[in-house]
Structure 1
Amino acid sequence: MSICGDRSDFAADYDEYRNFISGLFSESWIRDSRQSFKTASGSTVPVKESAMLVKDASSGASGWLGRVTDLSIAESSSFELNSARILTRTFIDNSDDLIAAISPDKTCMMANNAFADFAGLGAAHLCEGRSFSDCLPPRTATDFLKAVDEVLADGEELDSFVMVMPDCRSRDRIFSVRLSPFMDASEKVCGVVFSGRDMTGKVEAENSARESADSAREALRQRSEVIRNMSHELRTPLSGIIGAFEVLRASCREPGQGQCAEGGLIAAKRLNEVLGEILGLAGEDDFEVTVGKVEPEKLVRSVFEAFAPLASEKGVELSLENEGTPDFIYSNGKRLRLALFRFVGHVLDNLNDGGEAFFHLRRQGAENDCEDLEFYFADSASRLAHLGKERFFPQGFTGLAGAFGADAFSRDVSGSLELGFRISCPSLLEATTAKKLEKGFGSGRRILLAEDDINSQARMRMQLEKWGYSVRSVSNGSEVLDCLREDGFDLLLLDIQMPEMDGLEAVRRIRAEEADANSIPIICMSAYRGDVEKILDSGANHFLPKPVDTAALKRLLERVFIEA
């Protein structure tokens, strides 16, 4: 802004103006005089003013010519920039990370307090101007400066690599290091910013946690081993006692003897249940025998009977339509019943307008020797539509269904909503077929029995032979391998804990030696439920808990030979 004549627009302070005029007339020129002008609005504006005296032809003063520069914007920007620099420096100095700037000649341009403490210098300003190698431990300086040279040459950041550096007290510290180039106005690399985050505490905590986890796993393994051995030592003789009472009950001719045998059998089984509860509290894994013979329609109707009072109270009539389902299936009856209870109860809870509730039990087509059985509710009147898709099933139902191989589904069929679940059954039998199989079912079948406990071996052999099977008995895994190499068998029934070679190792060797086409069905027995996963992983087909329940063994043998 140029001014010629007076400065009335700025209303400068009178004394300031008088001094300005006096200087101008005495010197004829004033350069970069800092003034404070007041504008017409009353605000004060810092300015820089230059002026020259104007003379007439007789060299007398006729006026002055001046230039005024408003400094308010520049000074405000300068203030903000300085504030930002101070704030940034404060952040850097207060950071727990090591931060420093390195010049191309490897001089420390600046550093923060954390870096100064690490280097043992005490104050950040003492690092500045020093050779950076003097600020680092000798054994790591060479490798570090090589990395700096790489960043200076390539202009690329090195991010999050790990360095172990001893501090000024010779304690090894683990750092996650980042080296970032910084540029000058011409985009030329003029230095490297180093930042290092101390990971020592985190690494030590992780190592400590890992060691604790390893110790806990080892303690758990030892506890499981103790429980496993305890279970075997207790349940093996108990299995013999139960077997003896079963044989005695079957051979009794007088009513009193039969009642005595039945009482002993009930007491032994109750003792087994108590033992299971004790071992369960001690940490033995709970495992339920996976399959049994189930009558699907009878099971569904028993669930309906349980919900009859609730259905009557809500004015709902439960209706079941059986569409070609078999008389019985092989499935996990307890979990199937629980799934039915959860599903039927959920549907009833959300039917608020009474009427008939149509449930369907349907047999689907066979595929890969498996057949599907569906249980679902047909909602043709959209009575459950208010729930929304997320609430069609009770909470946690999908996981419950998946626990025994079932799949929950919802679908629209001709405008009718169908909600339910589907189970895949590896063996579906009609009752007439079952009756045929029950007559002389074991005829012609050869079973190799491996059991080291003499009483249990004798009892099981007697029972198997009573069912019509041909049985050969051995006492350890080595004898199992010898027998299978010498002769052919239709099924192997073996205990897991045996001397010389246990059942798991025997199963692994059998599976390694045999051809897939001639794979023998293997049923493993164990008193410890925690063995289940290892047993199935080793190559066994089925698991039976000890003491072996006679009815469960018979059902499982039927299932195995039906599938074969």
Structure 2
Amino acid sequence: MNRHGAHDYFNNAWLEFTGSTLERETRGGWMERIHPEDLDAYREKLSQSFNNHSPFETRFRLQRSDGEWRWITDLGRPFRDGQGDFAGLIGCSFDITERIEQERSLTEAKSRAEAAGEAKSQFLANISHEVRTPLNGIMGMLEALAESSPSAQQAEYIETASQSARQLLGLLNDLLDLARIEAGNLPLHPSLINVGELIRRGTAPFAHEARGLGISLTVEVCAELDSLLFPLDEVRMRQLLFNLLGNALKFTKFGGTVAVSAFLAGTQAARKLVVVVSDTGIGIPGDKLAAIFDPFVQAMGALTREHGGAGLGLSIVRKLVRMMEGAACVSSEPGQGTDFAFSIPVEPGEVRPSEAAAEPAAPQITLPPLKALLVEDDRVNQLTARRMLEKLGMSVDMAENGQQALDAVSRFQFDIVFMDLQMPVMDGLSATRAIREREGAAGGPRLPIVAMTAHAMKGDREMCLEAGMDEYVPKPLEKNALALAARTALDKRTG
């Protein structure tokens, strides 16, 4: 474009692309091939650049000589004559159609992946709720039976059923943990812990199971791990140990051995905690080793396999270790046994205080006599929760939905409310918001409200607190968790 705003030159590549002639293009014919939807915006951009003597970059669709519309990036800049005066614009155009199509494909793929991820999260949330609700009733009723002076045979049956329920809960938690890790929604909460003590305490619950299976279980911890404290996530460290130990015991036969060892490796400036769980079990075939850490993969996949499980434990181990910037590995010999190991980089440990050698007992949670309102629509869960609350010394009134709860708190005086979320007529979140609105309008005291729900996905606790609840307890319910939640909610009211 010259200093007068006329287009006076197009190269051969442009003419071949458009199938036009230089004479026609310089008379303004080139703009006839810009897509009508893009033409006004392009003219405005070009005019601004010309008037301001400034560079420009824009996109538009241009019709090729064969009639196909192609995406073009047009780049232009001002140029000057020998005296430094503005002499017009010079530019070049690039056919970026393939890039645009790739971008569109990536955007569509991303949208599909996000939609699939959202559908997966919603599915897991629904599964979590639908499984936890009946499981809460099963475990609560089994606990009630265990406290009803059963015969020795009945107690054995109750314990067997309870163990099966705990296994089902463990599987559910594994599924949710795996989904959280893959979504990047499982945060770590490091605190100074004594690894040696954690490993010994974490191994202790398996000792009874090992004796019952006729398996020797040994633990060896280097002395240095007992004298230092390291910043690690205690809950996830226990989960690593439990998954590996449970796996080792499952695949080790009567008379075999399972050994746990832990030590520090590396230099003082780059130390690593190494934990090894070894067994003398059935081992893993060589062609299965590469995939053993993949989710839902088991070395023995046939329907006739002797050992159960969903194949999630080892996948969770590897993902947790990677979150901690470590590595996990396995070596095995079929018929001889398997060694699982993981290493995690640790910061220089702090010297363990001498008084920390004896960990104080957990304080007993005490509650005053309380009049509680239990808001729950499921009959079995009503029985379970009511029994637990009464065991904690509370007198309990019932409401079957949020509207009944709202009516009850407006007519009667309660010390605390335990509120389910998913209910007919009015859900627990809406009922809580309505109670808080009434309190605000009347200027009355704050009624402690504890969420008691099968919604146990990431963000559910925060959702409850944002609605105005004071604490949150996931199902299946545990009496100690209920007591702690009640104590916390009451403390918030009194400050």
- Shorter-chain TM-score bucket reads 0.5 to 0.7
Amino acid at match of 2:126: N
Which residue number corresponds to residue 105 of structure 2? 208
Name the SS of the counterpart of 1:448 in structure 2: strand
> Distance in 2 between the 1:177 and 1:270 partners?
64
Q: Name which of 265, 289, 304 aligns with 1:349.
A: 265
Q: Name which of 102, 111, 120 aligns with 2:19.
A: 120
Change (3 A) 1:349 1:107: same
Per-residue CA deviation, residues 192-220 of structure 1 (Å, 9 max, x unaligned), is 11333444443443333333333333333
Q: How does 1:35-184 map to 2 (within 5 A)?
A: 102-121=1-20, 126-127=21-22, 130-131=25-26, 133-137=28-32, 139=36, 144=42, 147-157=45-55, 159-168=56-65, 171-184=68-81
> Distance in 2 between the 1:260 and 1:199 partners?
71
Which residue number corresponds to residue 378 of structure 2? 453
Q: CA deviation at 1:182?
A: 1.1
Q: How does 1:276-425 map to 2 (within 5 A)?
A: 276=173, 301-303=197-199, 309=220, 311=222, 318-319=226-227, 334-335=235-236, 348-350=264-266, 384=268, 387=269, 391=270, 400=324, 419=350
Greater length-normalized contact order (CA 8 Å, ≥ 6 residues apart): 2
Change (3 A) 1:514 1:204: farther
User: Conserved in 1, the CA contact under 8 Å of 2:73 and 2:96?
Assistant: yes
Change (3 A) 1:144 1:472: same
> Distance in 1 between the 2:417 and 2:182 partners?
25
Greater displacement, 509-518 / 222-231: 509-518
Which residue number corresponds to residue 425 of structure 2? 500
Q: CA deviation at 1:419?
A: 4.2
> Distance in 1 between the 2:172 and 2:200 partners?
34
Q: CA deviation at 1:464?
A: 0.4
Which residue number corresponds to residue 233 of structure 1? 130
| 2:374 maps to 1:463 | no
Name the SS of the counterpart of 2:102 in structure 1: helix
Name the SS of the counterpart of 1:251 in structure 2: coil
User: Conserved in 1, the CA contact under 8 Å of 2:221 and 2:263?
Assistant: no
User: Conserved in 2, the CA contact under 8 Å of 1:133 and 1:141?
Assistant: no
Amino acid at match of 1:135: W
User: Conserved in 2, the CA contact under 8 Å of 1:448 and 1:491?
Assistant: yes
Which residue number corresponds to residue 254 of structure 2? none
| 2:451 maps to 1:523 | yes
Per-residue CA deviation, residues 390-420 of structure 1 (Å, 9 max, x unaligned), is x36769999759xxxxxx998xxxxxx8748
Q: CA deviation at 1:454?
A: 0.7
User: Conserved in 2, the CA contact under 8 Å of 1:108 and 1:129?
Assistant: no
Q: CA deviation at 1:269?
A: 2.7
Q: Name which of 471, 479, 484 aligns with 1:550.
A: 479
Change (3 A) 1:228 1:285: farther
- Counting aligned pairs with the same residue, the percent is 23
User: Conserved in 2, the CA contact under 8 Å of 1:289 and 1:543?
Assistant: no
Change (3 A) 1:449 1:199: farther
Name the SS of the counterpart of 1:156 in structure 2: coil
Amino acid at match of 1:110: Y
Change (3 A) 1:350 1:513: farther
> For the pair shown, which has the larger CA radius of gyration, 1 or 2?
1
Per-residue CA deviation, residues 233-273 of structure 1 (Å, 9 max, x unaligned), is 33322321221121121122644444443333233333433
| 2:160 maps to 1:263 | yes
Larger proportion of strand: 1
User: Conserved in 1, the CA contact under 8 Å of 2:135 and 2:476?
Assistant: yes
Change (3 A) 1:289 1:192: closer
Name the SS of the counterpart of 1:552 in structure 2: helix
Name the SS of the counterpart of 1:244 in structure 2: helix
Name the SS of the counterpart of 1:104 in structure 2: coil
> Distance in 1 between the 2:399 and 2:74 partners?
65
Per-residue CA deviation, residues 470-518 of structure 1 (Å, 9 max, x unaligned), is 3222222333333344445444322232223333444455556655983
Q: Name which of 376, 398, 410 aligns with 1:473.
A: 398
Amino acid at match of 2:74: V
Structure 1: stretches of 5+ with no match in the other structure: 1-101, 322-330, 352-383, 402-407, 411-416, 422-428
> Distance in 1 between the 2:447 and 2:46 partners?
64
Amino acid at match of 1:190: A
Greater displacement, 234-243 / 259-268: 259-268
Per-residue CA deviation, residues 53-108 of structure 1 (Å, 9 max, x unaligned), is xxxxxxxxxxxxxxxxxxxxxxxxxxxxxxxxxxxxxxxxxxxxxxxxx2234544
> Distance in 2 between the 1:210 and 1:317 partners?
50
Change (3 A) 1:202 1:131: same
Change (3 A) 1:234 1:558: same
Amino acid at match of 1:156: S
> Distance in 2 between the 1:195 and 1:297 partners?
64
User: Conserved in 1, the CA contact under 8 Å of 2:76 and 2:92?
Assistant: yes
Amino acid at match of 1:463: M
Change (3 A) 1:501 1:218: farther
Q: CA deviation at 1:132?
A: 5.0
Q: Name which of 245, 248, 263 aligns with 2:142.
A: 245
User: Conserved in 1, the CA contact under 8 Å of 2:370 and 2:394?
Assistant: yes
Structure 2: stretches of 5+ with no match in the other structure: 204-217, 243-260, 275-319, 326-344, 353-358
Per-residue CA deviation, residues 353-407 of structure 1 (Å, 9 max, x unaligned), is xxxxxxxxxxxxxxxxxxxxxxxxxxxxxxx3xx2xxx36769999759xxxxxx
TM-score by length of 2: 0.60
User: Conserved in 2, the CA contact under 8 Å of 1:118 and 1:167?
Assistant: yes
> Distance in 1 between the 2:7 and 2:417 partners?
78
Change (3 A) 1:520 1:114: farther
Per-residue CA deviation, residues 277-326 of structure 1 (Å, 9 max, x unaligned), is 567778999999999xx9x99986454798984536xxx694479xxxxx
